[in-house]
Structure 1
Amino acid sequence: LTDLSYSQLYKHEIFRLSHNKKHPSIIMSFAEISKSLSDIERKASKSIKILQKGNDLNYKDAIKLGTKSNSIVSTINKGIKEYGNFNPSDEDAKKLLHQMSTIVDLTETQLTNMVANKGRFESLKVGGLVKKNVQKTEAASKELSNVMIAKAPASTKADAETLEKRREAAFSKATAAFASSTGGEDEALGDDSD
Structure 2
Amino acid sequence: MEKVQANIDALERKLTKANKIAAKGEKMKVGDAIKLGRKSQSMAATINKGMKEYDDTDPTPQESQAMLTQMTRIVELTEEQVNHLIGASGYLKDKLHVGGLVKRNLIKTSEASEALSHLMVSKAPPELKAEGQALAKRRNVAFDKALAVYGNATGGDDLGNDGADDSD
The alignment's TM-score, normalised by the length of structure 2, stands at: 0.95
Question: What are the residue-to-residue correspondences of 1:180-191 with 2, within 5 Å?
Answer: 180-187=152-159, 188-189=161-162, 190-191=164-165
CA distance in structure 2 between the aligned counterparts of 1:141 and 1:176, rounded to whole angstroms: 18
For 1:86, the aligned partner's letter is T
Q: Which moved more, 1:76-85 or 1:184-193?
A: 184-193
- C-alpha displacement of 1:120: 1.6
How many residues in Structure 1 have an aligned counterpart in Structure 2? 165
For 2:165, the aligned partner's letter is D
Is structure 2 residue 167 aligned with structure 1 residue 193? yes
The alignment's TM-score, normalised by the length of structure 1, stands at: 0.83
- C-alpha displacement of 1:186: 1.6
Is structure 2 residue 121 aligned with structure 1 residue 149? yes
| Paired position in structure 1 for 2:59 | 88
1:46 to 17, 23, 32: 17
Stretches of 4+ aligned residues off by more than 4 angstroms: none
Is structure 2 residue 7 aligned with structure 1 residue 36? yes
Deviations 1:44-88 (A, max 9, x none): 000110111121100000000011011001100011101111111
CA distance in structure 1 between the aligned counterparts of 2:56 and 2:85, rounded to whole angstroms: 33
CA distance in structure 1 between the aligned counterparts of 2:122 and 2:33, rounded to whole angstroms: 35
For 2:106, the aligned partner's letter is V
CA distance in structure 1 between the aligned counterparts of 2:62 and 2:147, rounded to whole angstroms: 35
2:104 to 129, 132, 155: 132
CA distance in structure 1 between the aligned counterparts of 2:127 and 2:63, rounded to whole angstroms: 12
For 1:181, the aligned partner's letter is A
The secondary structure found in structure 2 opposite 1:157 is helix
The secondary structure found in structure 1 opposite 2:115 is helix
Consecutive unaligned residues of structure 1, counting only runs of 5 or more, are: 1-29
Question: What are the residue-to-residue correspondences of 1:143-182 with 2, within 5 Å?
Answer: 143-182=115-154
CA contact 2:23–2:81 (8 Å) conserved in 1:
no
| Paired position in structure 1 for 2:71 | 100
The secondary structure found in structure 2 opposite 1:191 is coil
Q: Which has the larger radius of gyration?
A: 1
- C-alpha displacement of 1:191: 3.2
Consecutive unaligned residues of structure 2, counting only runs of 5 or more, are: none
CA contact 2:25–2:85 (8 Å) conserved in 1:
no
2:84 to 113, 117, 126: 113
